[in-house]
Amino acid sequence: MAYTSLAVAMRVKVTQSLVITFLFAAPWHARAACTAPADLAKQLRATPDANTHAALGSWYADHQQFPCAIEPFRKAAALEPGSARYQYLLGLSLSADRQFAAAVGPLRHSLALDPDSTQTHLLLGTALDASNSRASAELEWRLALARDPKSTLALESLSRDLLADRDYNGVMVLLHPAEGSGALTDTMTVTLAAAYSKAGLPEDAATLLRNRLQANPASLEVAEALSGVLILESRFQDAVAALAAAASQHPEDLQAQILLLQTLVLAHDAGAQALGEKLLKAAPKQWELLYFMGVLYQEEENNAAARDYFERSIAAKPGNADAHYRLGVVLGSFKGEAKNETAARQELGKAIALGLDTPEVHFALAKALRTLGDTAAAQQQLSLYQQKLHAQAARAQAADKAQQGDQAAAAGNPQQTVADYREALALDPHEPVLAYKLGMALDKTGDQAGERVALQQAIALDPKMALAQNQLGYLDTSDGDAEAAVRHFRIAVEADPGFSKAWVNLAASLCLQSKWAEAHEALQHVLALGGEDANVKALLQQIETMEAQAPR
């Protein structure tokens, strides 16, 4: 996260100058010498207490010397270990220096001392996200929202993480209130639209983005998202129209212009070549521009020009698998002596090694190998082509069937829902979300045995699917197996620490085993997340009564 966004969200409760520093700081690169100003150095020699060390840390931060601020704040925290503020400032300075993993410890310590600090939950969430601890970050976003339900950073970050978890319904539930109140930011709008699109509701996504773009026509973020949704629907000219207006207001934004060029290429728009040539004059070595110009010339069957652009694009970015693939195809498309199947095979092999695994690349490689006389290898690639093509078609059919299942569920037709999801899962048996949806559809029909099989398939594919683990725990509870239920509920809350329902279920199952202290601890998580409804209060009261009666 950029320092500007970090500081805006944190609203640091320190000197105003330190806040301004974090608001406008640029990423730190050089490691300058840490030289304290004379007056502070003198004061530190005379009074080396926590407050003076913190003042020095603030001075370094004011001057964008974030690595230098770390040690003074660390000393302040060591001198006053009971100060949540100094622990927070240490975590903040480490985060500003992009030492996010190191920042986690001080921030957790700060929260142990002051658990109601919204700003610390937000900063800890940022540090955890940057340290690839998404589930733990989600808990911090939820804890922040329990204290400030309108926190923009928490809403944007949690919805982004839920989208990465493929919890599309979770994104919708989280952001719908903001949508209804008109509080969606551009970033929230794009995330919500992505959830709609991924959930099989592209029209809802397009409508949301189009309305937002009408309200803010200069928003590149929204225009880019809208063009992406329209491209997925093969509405290329509509995508061009959506993006061109916003891009015209940002003529100096090269990435926006490149995205417009890409959209024009996909739309086979006659203006693509002129725009590409114009942009290349300003950025002659930009790999994406070179790549898209190669695509244009390849479509015109101008193999020599296409080869030149692809080779230049690869020279600028050797890891672009698509450029290697297209160069391989072009090299194999020349006539006569210019044809070079050996080079084509090498480029196609590089594309596959770089991760490109489409049916087309295997077909092209099979063709090159056959021309070179390597029949066995060609047949192997042809078999892979057929497998990938079949799998691709099956996934597309599965998505259609799943969408039909969603519609049947919305219409209140559980039997048809089960049939559609079952067929979708048969077409795409490696998709855990389909298995979970089938399980929940079977739950509506009362088929608990079939539900359990489907849910077990879901967690076999994705052991950290919290929703499936929670539902399996519920089935175990119904079967009287409290121990198994607790196991599933624990996995659910470990996978999603912000899953209040699973915490409540865990507490209830622990009560069945008379584990009152553990049940009490589980409910504390619910209360921290803001889940203080009548049922939770009643269960907590029952647990506290039983704890009081338990022998000491």
pLDDT tens digits, 442-459: 999 999 999 999 999 999
Largest CA distance in the chain: 93
Residue 81 amino acid letter? P
Q: Which of 292, 278, 299 is nearest to 322 (CA)?
A: 292
The pLDDT of residue 103 is: 95
pLDDT tens digits, 411-426: 999 999 999 999 999 9
Q: Which of 270, 287, 211, 273 is nearest to 242 (CA)?
A: 211
Domain C-terminal end among 339, 373, 407: 373
Average pLDDT in the 28-47 region? 78
The CATH code of the domain that includes 341 is 1.25.40.10
Range of the domain at 11: 1-132
- Give yes or no for residue 22 having a pLDDT over 80: no
The C-alpha atoms of residue 285 and residue 315 are separated, in whole angstroms, by 9
The answer as to whether 539 is a domain residue is no
The pLDDT of residue 550 is: 66
Q: Is 70 helix (H, G, I), strand (E, B) or coil?
A: helix
The answer as to whether 383 is a domain residue is no
pLDDT tens digits, 514-536: 899 899 899 888 888 876 677 78
pLDDT tens digits, 378-431: 999 999 999 999 999 999 999 899 989 999 998 999 999 999 999 999 999 999
The answer as to whether 217 is a domain residue is no
Q: Which of 97, 141, 94, 90 is nearest to 119 (CA)?
A: 141
> Is residue 550 exposed (0-12), middle (13-18) or buried (19+ Cβ within 10 Å)?
exposed
The band of 292, judged by pLDDT with boundaries at 50, 70 and 90, is very high
Q: Which of 154, 153, 102, 114 is nearest to 498 (CA)?
A: 154
Domain C-terminal end among 373, 398, 418: 373
Q: What is the mean pLDDT of the chain?
A: 89
Q: Contact, 122 vs 154, CB < 8 A?
A: yes
Q: Is 356 helix (H, G, I), strand (E, B) or coil?
A: coil
- From residue 302, alpha-carbon distances to 170, 308, 480 in Å are 49, 10, 71
DSSP string, 37-48: -HHHHHHHHH--
- Give yes or no for residue 552 having a pLDDT over 90: no
The pLDDT of residue 13 is: 35
Domain C-terminal end among 107, 132, 157: 132
The answer as to whether 117 is a domain residue is yes
The band of 90, judged by pLDDT with boundaries at 50, 70 and 90, is very high
Average pLDDT in the 303-325 region? 96
The band of 202, judged by pLDDT with boundaries at 50, 70 and 90, is confident
- Give yes or no for residue 258 having a pLDDT over 50: yes
Query: How many other C-beta atoms can be found within 10 angstroms of the C-beta atom of residue 199?
Result: 19
The band of 7, judged by pLDDT with boundaries at 50, 70 and 90, is very low
The answer as to whether 458 is a domain residue is no
Q: Is 65 helix (H, G, I), strand (E, B) or coil?
A: coil
User: Lowest mean pLDDT: which of 268-282, 385-399, 481-495, 538-552?
Assistant: 538-552
The pLDDT of residue 201 is: 86
The answer as to whether 551 is a domain residue is no
The answer as to whether 89 is a domain residue is yes
What number of H helices and E strands is found in the chain?
31, 0
**Spacing of C-alpha 433 from chain mean position:** 17
Average pLDDT in the 234-252 region? 88
Q: How many domains does the chain have?
A: 2
The C-alpha atoms of residue 541 and residue 129 are separated, in whole angstroms, by 35
**Spacing of C-alpha 272 from chain mean position:** 31
- Give yes or no for residue 27 having a pLDDT over 80: no
Q: Contact, 185 vs 219, CB < 8 A?
A: no
Q: Contact, 331 vs 342, CB < 8 A?
A: no
Q: Give the up-direction half-sphere exposure of residue 200: CA atoms within 13 A in the CB hemisphere.
A: 13
Q: Give the up-direction half-sphere exposure of residue 33: CA atoms within 13 A in the CB hemisphere.
A: 3
DSSP state at residue 428: S
The answer as to whether 341 is a domain residue is yes
